C-alpha cells in the first residue's frame, strides 16, 4: 500500500485537520467530533443543510460547505457511515430555529444512522426533514443498499437545496426542491482499477490489466458487467444508454462528468465530448456542464456521468452563488 498518510487508523482526523487549516475563513471543526461546519455557522433565519457519509469521497462532502450549499458535513470513517451521535452533533451545531435538512445517500448505514439522529434532534425540539438520494441506475440493490445507490448526483442536491435555503426557503420548500432534483437526476459509473481502504491495506477487489467494470459503486460494490477495456466513446455510449433509457431527459439538462480519484482530466474531457455528442443527437440541450472530481472513491480510476433535467426553478438555483471550497460559482 502506497499512500501519503501517517497512521492508517487516523486518516479521517488528519484529513479533517488539514481541510479546516486550508479554508479557515470558510470551515471549522465542531470540537470532539468529525463534523465540519461553516465557520460563520451562527447563520440565522435560514434552514440549515447537513450531509455526510463515509470518508474517501473527497471533496464530498465537507468540500461543499459554505454559503449557498451545506452548513455542515459529517465525516465517517473511510467508506463507513458516521454514527448517529456524530450526525446529531452536526444538527445541533447548525440549527438556528428554522429547521435542519438532511441529504442522505441511499446506503443502509447512512439511512439508519441519519434517521436515528433526526429522531434524537426532534426529541429536543429541532425540526428535521430529509431526502434520500438514489440516482445510480446501474443496479437496484447492492451489498450496501436496498434500492438504488446514491452517487455523484448528490452534488446537484447539495447545490440546489443549499441555494433554496440560502434565499430563505422554508424547510418544506427546501425538501420539495431537493425531492425534485432526486426525481430528475440519474447517474452511472465505471471503474478501471480498485482502491485501497487505508485500514485494510489491500485493494477491495481486483481487476485484470485489460479489464473494466461497468456500474461499479463508489465503495467498490459490484457493477453490472465486467469485461475488456473499451474506448472512451464506447464507455460513454454504455453509461449514457442506460441513463437515457431510464428517464425522459427531453428539454434542458445539466451534465456532471465526475472522476473517481485517479482519472486525468484529459480523459474526463474526452469522455465528455462523446456525452455531448450523444445528447445533441437526441435533441437534448445542455444548459451547463461540470467536469472534474466531485465525488471520488479514494484512488480508484474511473468515472461517472450524471444528468439532471432542468426547469426554470432548478436553473435559477443551480446558477446561484456558492462559496463552498469545492464548488465556487
190 and 144 inside one domain: no
CB contact at 8 A, 73 and 27: no
Catalytic residue of the set 61, 219, 242, 309: 219
* Residue 94 shares a structural domain with residue 56: yes
268: enclosing H helix or E strand: helix 265-281
CATH code, 14: 3.40.50.10440
pTM here?
A: 0.97
Per-residue pLDDT 10s for the chain (329 aa) are 999 999 999 999 999 999 999 999 999 999 999 999 999 855 678 999 999 999 999 999 999 999 999 999 999 999 999 999 999 999 999 999 999 999 999 999 999 999 999 999 999 999 999 999 999 999 887 666 679 999 999 999 999 999 999 999 999 999 999 999 999 999 999 999 999 999 999 998 889 999 999 999 999 888 899 999 999 999 999 999 999 999 999 999 999 999 999 999 999 999 999 999 999 999 999 999 999 999 999 999 999 999 999 999 999 999 999 999 999 99
Query: Which structural domain range is residue 290 located in?
Result: 185-312
**In a 3-state reduction of DSSP, which class is residue 50?**
strand
Tell me: do 40 and 155 sit in the same domain.
Answer: yes
Residue 209 dihedral angles phi and psi, to the nearest 5°: -55, -35
In a shared domain, residues 220 and 298? yes
Residue 3 lies in a domain: no
Q: What are phi and psi of 115, to 5 degrees?
A: -70, -35
CA dist 36 to 26, 70, 259, 307, Å?
A: 10, 10, 24, 28
Closest by CA to 246, choosing from 322, 306, 158, is 306
Task: Write down the catalytic residue from 28, 38, 57, 148.
Answer: 57
Query: Residue 158: inside a domain, yes or no?
Result: yes
SS3 content of the chain, % helix, strand, coil (to 5): 35, 25, 40
Is 61 designated active site?
no
Residue 242 has phi, psi (to 5 degrees) of -70, -40
Is 203 within a domain? yes
Amino acid at each position: 500500500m502506497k499512500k501519503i498518510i501517517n497512521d492508517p487508523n487516523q486518516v479521517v482526523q488528519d484529513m479533517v485537520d488539514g481541510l479546516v487549516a486550508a479554508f479557515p475563513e470558510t470551515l471549522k471543526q465542531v470540537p470532539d467530533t468529525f463534523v465540519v461546519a461553516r465557520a460563520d455557522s451562527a447563520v440565522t433565519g435560514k434552514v440549515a443543510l447537513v450531509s455526510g457519509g463515509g470518508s474517501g469521497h473527497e471533496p464530498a462532502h465537507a468540500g461543499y460547505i459554505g454559503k449557498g450549499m451545506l452548513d455542515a458535513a459529517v465525516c465517517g470513517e473511510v467508506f463507513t457511515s458516521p454514527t448517529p451521535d456524530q450526525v446529531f452533533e452536526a444538527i445541533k451545531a447548525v440549527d438556528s430555529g428554522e429547521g435542519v435538512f438532511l441529504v442522505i445517500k441511499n446506503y443502509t448505514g447512512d439511512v439508519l444512522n441519519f434517521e436515528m439522529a433526526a429522531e434524537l434532534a426532534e426529541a429536543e425540539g429541532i425540526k428535521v426533514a430529509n431526502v434520500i438520494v438514489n440516482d445510480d441506475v446501474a443496479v437496484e440493490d447492492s451489498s450496501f443498499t436496498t434500492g438504488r445507490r446514491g452517487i455523484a448526483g448528490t452534488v446537484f442536491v447539495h447545490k440546489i437545496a443549499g441555494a433554496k435555503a440560502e434565499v430563505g426557503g422554508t424547510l418544506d420548500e427546501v425538501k420539495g426542491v431537493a425531492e425534485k432534483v432526486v426525481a430528475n437526476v440519474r447517474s452511472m459509473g465505471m471503474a478501471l482499477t480498485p482502491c485501497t481502504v487505508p485500514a485494510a491495506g489491500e485493494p477491495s477487489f481486483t481487476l485484470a490489466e485489460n479489464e473494466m467494470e461497468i456500474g461499479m459503486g463508489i465503495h467498490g460494490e459490484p457493477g453490472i458487467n465486467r469485461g475488456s477495456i473499451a474506448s472512451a466513446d464506447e464507455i460513454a455510449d454504455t453509461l449514457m444508454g442506460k441513463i437515457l433509457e431510464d428517464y425522459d431527459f427531453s428539454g434542458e439538462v445539466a451534465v456532471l462528468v465526475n472522476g473517481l480519484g485517479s482519472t486525468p482530466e484529459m480523459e474526463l474531457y474526452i469522455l465528455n465530448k462523446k456525452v455531448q455528442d450523444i445528447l445533441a443527437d437526441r435533441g437534448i440541450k445542455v444548459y451547463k456542464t461540470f467536469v472534474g472530481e466531485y465525488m471520488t472513491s479514494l484512488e480508484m480510476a474511473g468515472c461517472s456521468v450524471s444528468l439532471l433535467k432542468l426547469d426554470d426553478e432548478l436553473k435559477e438555483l443551480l446558477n446561484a452563488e456558492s462559496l463552498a471550497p469545492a464548488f465556487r460559482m
